[in-house]
Structure 1
Amino acid sequence: MMSTLRMGLREGVREILAFSLGLVPWAIATGIAMRASGLSIGESLAMNVLVFAATAQLGTLPLLVSEAPVWLILATAAILNLRFVIYSAAMAPAFHDQPWARRALGSYLLVDVVFLVQGPGLLQEQDAQRRWGRFLGAGLWCWGTWQIASLVGIVGASWVPEHWSLGFMGTIALLVLLVPMCRERVMLVTALAAGASALLLRDLPLRTGVIAAVIVGLVAGYLFERRQQGVARER
């Protein structure tokens, strides 16, 4: 059993290795953004370990800095991470035979790149131990890569001159994730609707414009996709 698990661990690391290199600049930028927003090294490290979700980390930084209510920070993080509900539902069959502790750990280690690389093949793996090993190997490798690269940004931010004003690093880091996704028309519509709404609703109290913009973007994307499906059926 342990040999099968170790085999799965090695396979998971090998499968994710090339893709995980893209996490390095993204993690460094997130580390710098946390420090540029005023978080201490300890607070940045804690956020990196406890949250371990770049979009939520970057999206809630302005709320933390402005001392927004805790409920608003949690609600914003939850909305920004809604995609993980879809990821989890898609991968749930691969973990139905695993104990609760493993499923809980899996939910923590599930990130975008792990889902993209492991998702399709993992459901076809017949051996439960090897299946878990592949996911665990990929997840732990990405977690370690993220923590180390983020630490470089967190510590290195103190070496950057203050007049450089690196508060924009969070925005740049999010754009790195956003731009490739907008190659699909539905994602472009979603992004444009959410972006325009965020600008128009930026003066809402407690920065709730962010939440409202996310909802508007999701609705716009859903309606656009329904319209595209209707056009396709008519043809």
Structure 2
Amino acid sequence: MATLLDSRPHALAFRDAASVALGLAAFGVTLGVTISALGFATLPGLVGAPVVYAGSAQLTAVTLVQQGAGLAVVVASAAVVNARMLLYSASLSPRFSGQPTWFRWLAPHFIVDQTYLLANARPDLDPRTFRRYWGCLGFFVLVVWSSSVATGLVVGPALPEMPHLAFVGTAMFLGLLAPRLTNRPAVAAAVTGGSVAAVVGFVRPELGIVGGAMAGVLAGSAVRR
């Protein structure tokens, strides 16, 4: 079994990427349509897909820019939304530590929810095989994601006016949040963070995400203690 995996990490990566492609494509198309509906040009959306490489952070950024937020607030909010990547990186660090320098610098760009979960399900790969697997996996997922966002950007202008798209961002985040509400600290963080974000966002829309995130972290920590 190990010999087969060693000789075909690209096939393994393709199979794993295919298992998440449908959900990833649906998210990407919806994000592309939303970016188009918010009035952004096609080029920034196309460039943002592979460069930002994080749908929730990109959605946060374009929503705040559309609301008139400054650059510092946009960057800080996107960083807060993507803070979980720090935990993913720490968890994957043993798999990256023995790799060449170029890999340790470039490969972390491919860390997203899907690649993290898929790589964690392959603990039996040796360092060389993991390097090939991770590169192929990241590339395949990136192709699916970028092409899906591009499709949404192209299709968006041809769709009829849909004012309800203003709520797409909220719906997406709720969909990501619901499966994680498995204990009291998580529920406390979600309820507090959502409430504070709504109140702060009503007064200062560009600060809603940052304020809600900070309040949610504090509430979750307090309940856990």
Name the CA distance, whole Å, in 1 between partners of 2:38 and 2:184. Answer: 33
Query: Contact (CA 8 Å) 1:193, 1:216: kept in 2 or not?
Result: yes
Query: Contact (CA 8 Å) 1:20, 1:113: kept in 2 or not?
Result: no
Name the CA distance, whole Å, in 2 between partners of 1:184 and 1:152. Answer: 38
- Compute the displacement of 1:41 (Å): 0.9
Name the CA distance, whole Å, in 1 between partners of 2:201 and 2:32. Answer: 25
Name the CA distance, whole Å, in 2 between partners of 1:196 and 1:205. Answer: 14
Name the CA distance, whole Å, in 2 between partners of 1:128 and 1:206. Answer: 46
Uncovered stretches (5+) of structure 1, i.e. residues with no partner:
227-235
Say if 2:12 is the partner of 1:11. Answer: yes
Matched with 2:54 is: 53
Name the CA distance, whole Å, in 1 between partners of 2:184 and 2:153. Answer: 36
Name the CA distance, whole Å, in 1 between partners of 2:34 and 2:7. Answer: 37
Name the CA distance, whole Å, in 1 between partners of 2:146 and 2:7. Answer: 23
- 1:83-232 matched pairs, under 5 angstroms: 83-122=84-123, 124-125=124-125, 127-205=126-204, 207-226=206-225
Query: Contact (CA 8 Å) 1:36, 1:165: kept in 2 or not?
Result: no
Alignment identity in percent? 25
User: For the structure 1 residues 95 and 178, does the alpha-carbon distance in structure 2 shift closer, same or farther, using more than 3 Å as the test?
Assistant: same
Equivalent residue of 2:29, what SS? helix
Letter in 2 for 1:38: G
Query: Contact (CA 8 Å) 1:15, 1:138: kept in 2 or not?
Result: yes
User: For the structure 1 residues 186 and 72, does the alpha-carbon distance in structure 2 shift closer, same or farther, using more than 3 Å as the test?
Assistant: same
Name the CA distance, whole Å, in 2 between partners of 1:140 and 1:219. Answer: 37
Letter in 1 for 2:150: L
Say if 2:96 is the partner of 1:73. Answer: no
Query: Contact (CA 8 Å) 2:65, 2:74: kept in 1 or not?
Result: yes
User: For the structure 1 residues 143 and 221, does the alpha-carbon distance in structure 2 shift closer, same or farther, using more than 3 Å as the test?
Assistant: same
Query: Contact (CA 8 Å) 1:64, 1:73: kept in 2 or not?
Result: yes
Equivalent residue of 1:75, what SS? helix
TM-score, scaled to structure 2: 0.89
- Compute the displacement of 1:188 (Å): 2.6
- Compute the displacement of 1:31 (Å): 0.8
Query: Contact (CA 8 Å) 2:67, 2:206: kept in 1 or not?
Result: no
Letter in 1 for 2:152: G
TM-score, scaled to structure 1: 0.85
User: For the structure 1 residues 163 and 120, does the alpha-carbon distance in structure 2 shift closer, same or farther, using more than 3 Å as the test?
Assistant: closer
- Compute the displacement of 1:204 (Å): 4.3
Worse-superposed segment, 127-136 or 84-93: 127-136
Query: Contact (CA 8 Å) 1:5, 1:133: kept in 2 or not?
Result: no
Letter in 1 for 2:89: S
Q: How many residues align?
A: 222
Equivalent residue of 2:201, what SS? coil
Say if 2:24 is the partner of 1:23. Answer: yes
Name the CA distance, whole Å, in 2 between partners of 1:186 and 1:144. Answer: 36
TM-align CA RMSD = 2.1
Uncovered stretches (5+) of structure 2, i.e. residues with no partner:
none
Letter in 2 for 1:109: F
